Amino acid sequence: MPRPSLATAERRRRTPDERSGPTHRRLEIVSAAPPEPVLPDASPGQRAAPDLLCHRPALRVDARAVKESMTFAFAGGAPAGALDRHVESASLPASTWDPARFAQHVFLQELIVGCLHFTSEGRTRIPSPALLGRALSQPPSDRDTVELRREIFRELTGSEALRRDLARAYAALRRWVSQLETISISRREGSRRRLDILVAAKEAFDALADGFAGARSGLARLPAFGAAVRETEAYRRLADLLAYDEELATLEVRIRVGADGHVRDLRALSIRENSENRFYQSPIGRVVTKLVMLWRGYRFSDEELLARYVNGVFDGIEDDLVALVQLLGDLEFYLAGLALRERARAAGLAVCLPELAWPGAARDEAPGRALKGLFNPLLLATSASIVACDIATEHHDATVIVTGPNSGGKTRLLEALSLAQMLGQAGFFVPAAEARLSSCHGLFVSLIEQAQADQSEGRLGMELLRIRSLFEAMQVGDMVVLDELCSGTNPSEGEEIFQLVISLLAELRPQAFITTHFLELAARLERERPVDRLVFLQVELDAQQWPTYQFVDGVARTSLAHRTAARLGVTREELVALVERSKRAHRRRGVEPA
């Protein structure tokens, strides 16, 4: 099915009354008196799209679908968010990661909405959760693509001017989309609206062409694209049309003002029409054109002829406008990263681009994991005081068993480690002042979940299913994060399953982090070392036995359940008081009249 033209879109939007009567040939008149022909431009395949998310530039949106949406939007407007749907569905580089195995447990959507929003022209913008969520949770398998993103972030953090240009370009794109999605009411308003859309489109192209001076990373693709568009005949027609709209003629006047400040006389001295513009037509020429068209049976207004010119200019730049739609999502990726950086700095924390090791080195030569100043970025969206910690292991493919009291920060640590791996491998900032990570084929995260009304298994059954799903998904070298492994059964049976899991995991050389309250088992494993590369971390306690939210070597001796019970009011004294209160209330009800 061919893509609808602007004329088709106009016909579909007109009411029956507008399509009937003596003006029924208005749309056909355009073909009888067309503007000068548009020279063919380079196709998007010849002019590389300004792709900031892939090492090899590509047009990743559905060009045909985007053009169709833009055609109808240009003709009469579109619902808000119509073009954002195409941004959300843009394709991304190939990845081996499956978000279904971890995204829910690291609260990815909450991270985007709560921590990665940014401000553009005084308005808070939440980047597309669909596109940004996929870009972060499906890290590229292509190392060059990851490096492209990291180099762009490095250049942005090192230059305030480039950050301003990035914000300016995004604001220009958003203004263009806003104009495009504005719905016109009258025909006269529609003509003005279309010119405003073209004005915003030109400003977007100019923002790319005139900005990013000195950029050497992938950002250099933006001015290169803008400059290439400016060289096209379609852009020159756009500029001429808008110049003609701004300056039809120059009028010199003389004004005589009286002593009371009021104008006594206004006299035109000269009128100079903008005859050098390609769209200029002399008064005689305009009259002759209308007479010829009337003689041939056509009736049209100047507005209709202008509309035809405007539509022709829009058709000429449409291919390049498709690239701008894609660019919206790309720019949001980097604006979100810069927003995370600024939000962390406001909290007295730091983010970084990690040192990232890739597969290829022998097992014993691969660097270990090290994160300094690691924090959980989800806490940036809360009023909680954030305490950063340092985590280091001698080998990246170690199995780390974490013990310590409840509310000591173990689960938050697992979330932070998972997010750091995901963000770092996606070419994004990680929530740490310094970091050294090793890339992995995939990530599996499973935190303790609340029981569901429709679950068919008890807690032990759900735990066993969790373990089976881990080994079904697991590949050699994957990262595994498990919270409270085997907590759903009695200690003796749970410990047996726990040992089975870590012994089999070791054969797959994972990057594993596992929390447990089986303290005696953990202590025995620390002594006996039944599998290779076991590491033990415990929550650090201060002199008063309160958690510091730091982690040190070793196995905790107690979970400090009595501390948690006291904090939550579950001591014997407080429970006895509650029981006595219920008994007194019952006795009072017994003596009250019915």
> What is the residue-wise DSSP string for 436-447?
EEE--S-EEEE-
Q: What pLDDT score does 255 carry?
A: 63
Q: Which two tokens stand for residue 539?
A: 């929550």
Burial (Cβ within 10 Å: 0-12, 13-18, ≥19) of residue 391: buried
Asked if residue 367 and residue 514 are part of one domain, the reply reads yes
Domain of residue 47: give its range: 31-94+140-246+299-333
More confident residue, 274 or 360: 360
Average pLDDT, stretch 159-170?
A: 98
Residue 562 CB neighbours (<10 A) = 12
579 is a domain residue: no
Average pLDDT score over residue span 524-537: 94
- 182 within 8 A of 193, measured Cβ to Cβ: yes
Count CA atoms closer than 13 A to 311's CA, side-chain side. 24
Give the H/E segment covering residue 356.
strand 355-357
Mind giving me the DSSP string for 215-239? Answer: --SGGGHHHHHHHHHHTSHHHHHHH
Tell me: do 326 and 354 sit in the same domain.
no
pLDDT at res. 46: 52
Same domain, 315 and 377: no
Give the confidence band of 294 by pLDDT, cuts at 50, 70, 90: low
Are residues 394 and 321 located together in one domain of the fold?
Answer: no
Residue 266 pLDDT greater than 60, yes or no: no
Q: Quick one: tokens of 579? A: 């029981």
Backbone angles phi, psi at 119, to 5 degrees: -110, 135
Do both 319 and 373 map to the same domain?
no
Instruction: Answer for the pair 209, 223: CB distance below 8 angstroms, yes or no.
Output: yes
* 329 and 354 share one domain: no
The reply to whether 77 and 181 lie within a common domain is yes
Among 232, 267, 255, residue whose Cα is nearest residue 38? 232
Residues 424 and 305 in one domain: no
Residues 6+ apart with CB under 8 A from 496: none
Out of 288-297, 399-408, 496-505, pick the least confident. Answer: 288-297
Those residues whose C-beta lies under 8 Å from the C-beta of residue 47, and which sit 6 or more positions away, are: 41, 225, 228, 229, 320
Question: pLDDT value at position 22?
Answer: 35
Give the pLDDT confidence of 400-435 residue by residue, as tens digits. Answer: 999 998 888 999 999 999 999 999 999 999 999 999
Q: Distance (Å, rounded) from C-alpha 130 to C-alpha 127? A: 9
Q: Is residue 185 part of a domain?
A: yes
Residue found under tokens 């059964």: 489
The token pair that represents 350 in the structure block: 């730091």
Residues 66 and 196 in one domain: yes
Enter the tokens of residue 392: 């280091």
427 part of a folded domain: yes
pLDDT at residue number 250: 44
Q: Any idea what the CATH number is for the domain that residue 377 is in? A: 3.40.50.300
365 with 327, same domain? no
What percentage of the chain has pLDDT greater than the value 70? 74
* pLDDT number for residue 98: 95
Q: Looking at the structure, tell me whether residues 183 and 327 fall in a common domain.
A: yes
Is residue 123 domain-resident? Answer: no
Mean pLDDT, rounded, for 293-318: 70
Nearest alpha carbon to residue 555 among 514, 511, 585: 514
* SS3 labels along 173-192: HHHHHHHHCCCCCCHHHHHH
d(CA 6, CA 312) in angstroms, rounded, equals 9
Structure tokens given for 306 = 């202008």
Q: Is residue 49 part of a domain?
A: yes
- Say yes or no: 393 and 529 in one domain: yes
Inside any domain, residue 319: yes
* Total number of residues shown for the chain: 594
Question: pLDDT tens across 29-78, in order?
Answer: 233 333 333 333 444 445 788 999 999 999 999 999 999 999 999 988 88
Query: Could you give the number of structural domains in the chain?
Result: 2
Write out pLDDT tens, residues 364-381: 566 789 999 999 999 999
Taking only the tens place, the pLDDT of each residue in 500-514 is 999 999 999 999 999
CA neighbor of 84 nearest in space, from 437, 410, 325, 334: 325
Range name among 55-59, 95-99, 138-142, 180-184 with the lowest pLDDT average: 180-184
522 occurs within a structural domain: yes
Q: Band of the pLDDT at 217, cuts 50, 70, 90? A: very high
Taking alpha carbons only, the member of 333, 359, 506 closest to residue 440 is 359
